[in-house]
């Protein structure tokens, strides 16, 4: 399925204000949001930065706001 991810970003070296970047990608319904973020960073935009560690829902380092709700990117399915 085609997925559109709208990511809130800010780079103080290049940006004066935070902004959203939109990325289109193909994902499976079994992919987790963290898988999609990794795919964007590896294939579309190497400057994308986020925290992650265990990718198993234990450490909590990939916590973020997803569709207005706080959640772990490694646990949320696309």
Per-residue pLDDT of 45-76, as tens digits, reads 999 999 888 888 889 899 999 999 999 999 99
Who has greater pLDDT, 8 or 55?
A: 8
Is the CB of residue 23 less than 8 Å from the CB of residue 40?
yes
Report the percent of the chain where pLDDT is more than 90: 87
**Quick one: CA torsion of 48, 51, 56, 59, rounded to 10 degrees?**
-170
**What pLDDT digit, counting tens, does each position of 23-32 carry?**
999 999 999 9
């Amino acid at each position: 399925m085609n997925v559109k991810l709208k990511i809130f970003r800010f780079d103080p070296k290049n940006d004066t204000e935070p902004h959203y970047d939109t990325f289109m990608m193909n994902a499976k319904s079994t992919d987790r949001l963290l898988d999609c973020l990794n795919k964007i960073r590896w294939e579309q935009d190497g400057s994308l930065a986020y925290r992650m560690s265990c990718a198993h829902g234990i450490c909590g380092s990939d916590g973020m706001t997803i569709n207005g709700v706080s959640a772990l990117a490694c646990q949320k399915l696309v």
